[in-house]
Each structure stands twice: as C-alpha cells, then as structure tokens.
Chains A and B, each alone.
Chain A
C-alpha cells in the first residue's frame, strides 16, 4: 500500500486541494520518512514527561524550517544521507531511551533530522501545487505518524514483554537505517 501511495500523491493534479493531498501523502510513501517519524513518537513517550510534546514539536518545527529551504531550492548536499542516518539514530534511540536520561541530546538530533526531512519534503514539491497547502499536508501527516509512534510507545509500557519487544523493534529500525545508509552511499558514490 505504501508503495502505491506516490501514484496517488503525484497523480492528484486537479483542483486547489491537490497541494494538501500531495503533502499528506509525501511523508507516508518513503519508508525512511515513515520509520523516522514513527520512531520520534516512540522515543518521546519513552523519555516521558514534557518530552512527549517537546520532541515531536522540535521535529515538526525544524521540519518546517527545512521545508522552507527545500521550497527555495537551496542546495543542501548529503540531505539523503542525513535522512538515512536519522533512521539509524532514532532506531538506536528506541533501544536506549528511558525516563531519567537527559532528553537534550535526543531532542537536538531530532531537530537536526527534522530539518533534513523537511528539506526533502520541500525540495520534492510537485509542480503546480500550493506550497502552503502542501506544507500543511506534510505537517499533518508527520504529526499523525508521531502520534502513531506515541501510541506504540504507550502500549509498550503496559507489559514488560511489549517493552522488550519495542527495544528489539528499535534494533530492527537501526538495521533498516544501516541499509538506507548503504543505499544512499551507493547512490552518491
């Protein structure tokens, strides 16, 4: 289904709601975007307290800044490598994050990676759509993915084995990040 969504997003070229729909679909069809954004929600719940809001807001805020750079077609070399690295780092975040640890290193990484994801969204805006509606679309879509991550993180706190399972899932996300990174390296080499 995820693989079919680009066609839905790209082909929706009629009417002024096209920007919104394209923006809504954009973060969903890239598995790297998808994993990173769900991971942000999971990590925020694992850190607990105000981090539940602070970390997703840091991602979304930085993403909007990055999107402006992307929409302006500002050159940002190695953005794709950074996005691949974000999956790796956020997967590791799921493995290690817990209440009591300082949230700031993760928050800083999340903001940095959010800017890169936003840049990619902005740079890949389909022609003839409204930039404002497109931005609104991917901000909403990203927030939905964060919330799905929060729900996953919260459900994992209900049982010990779920919590352990989540750590293993984090390791799997990290492995996916390594694969994305190798793919990006081979693409840039």
Chain B
C-alpha cells in the first residue's frame, strides 16, 4: 500500500511539474508572446498549454479518486504522461522543419555527438520518473 502511494506521489509530481514548467517556459516572449511567431502558431501554443493544464487536473482527479480499480488509473496516468513527453524524442525526426529550440542561441548539451536541448533533458527525466512510478506500482500490485 505504501509503495502504491509513493507511485501515485511520483506520478502526481510528474503531472504537476510538467504542467507548471511547460506553462512557465512558454508563457513569455520566447514562445506565446513572441512577435516573430505567426498568430496562429501562438494560438496553437496557447491551445496546447490550456489543454495540458486542464487534462493534468483531470488526471490528478483520476489518480486520487476512490476507486475499486486503482491500477487502471495508474496505468492511464502513466500512458498520459508518456503521451505528453515522448513526442519530444521524435517530433524533429517525424516532421521536417520543426525544432526543439526556441531560438538558435539556446545553448545545448552535447554528449557523445548527441545534441540534448534543455527541454529534451526535462522530457527524459519525466519519462524516467513515469516509468519508475509505474513500475513501483506494478511491483506493489504483484506483492498484494
């Protein structure tokens, strides 16, 4: 039971921090209020942020509500988190002309020839925490 709570805490942390960081990083002149962006691109950024914040609240409710099937909520939240964060890993490859970096002067980390943008590092941390949280919950269910 304690491990289940720890897992829910980890997943909640991923949800809340993901929403806060995304909103804080985008709600400024580098993204949402960037005069160089087309108004429709800014509209889509706002749409993403408001959708993310709203669905985060829904996921938190799903995770912590009384339920006879708590494992379903944990699985749904883990899949939701994966859906939010894994696109950071492949969007550039999938859609030509897109970039992880808001501008060319954003410094990146280069490790073994790989370019790691700050948002990519955050996404990787979130994915690792999601996997760890889900795995701990699975292990707790197996023990029960």
- Which of B3, B6, B9, B25 touches A17 (beta carbons < 8 Å)? B25
Q: How far apart are the CA atoms of A154 and B10 in the complex, in Å?
A: 12
Does A15 lie within 8 Å of B29, measured CB to CB? yes
Chain B hits for A53, CB < 8 A: 9
- Which of A5, A14, A20 touches B109 (beta carbons < 8 Å)? A5
Does B10 lie within 8 Å of A12, measured CB to CB? no
Does A14 lie within 8 Å of B132, measured CB to CB? no
CB A125 to nearest CB in B, in angstroms, measures: 17
Interface size on B, residues (CB 8 A): 30
Could you list 21 A-B pairs, sorted by A, with CB under 8 Å?
A1-B109, A4-B109, A8-B118, A12-B106, A14-B30, A14-B105, A15-B29, A17-B24, A20-B24, A24-B21, A24-B122, A48-B2, A52-B2, A133-B24, A140-B20, A143-B13, A144-B17, A150-B10, A151-B10, A151-B132, A154-B3
CB A173 to nearest CB in B, in angstroms, measures: 21
Does A136 lie within 8 Å of B20, measured CB to CB? yes
New A-B pairs, 10, CB < 8 Å, besides A20-B21, A140-B21: A1-B109, A14-B103, A20-B24, A52-B2, A143-B13, A144-B17, A144-B125, A147-B129, A154-B6, A158-B139
Q: Which residues of B contact A (CB under 8 A)?
A: 2-3, 6, 9-10, 13, 17, 20-21, 24-25, 28-30, 102-103, 105-111, 118, 122, 125, 129, 132, 136, 139
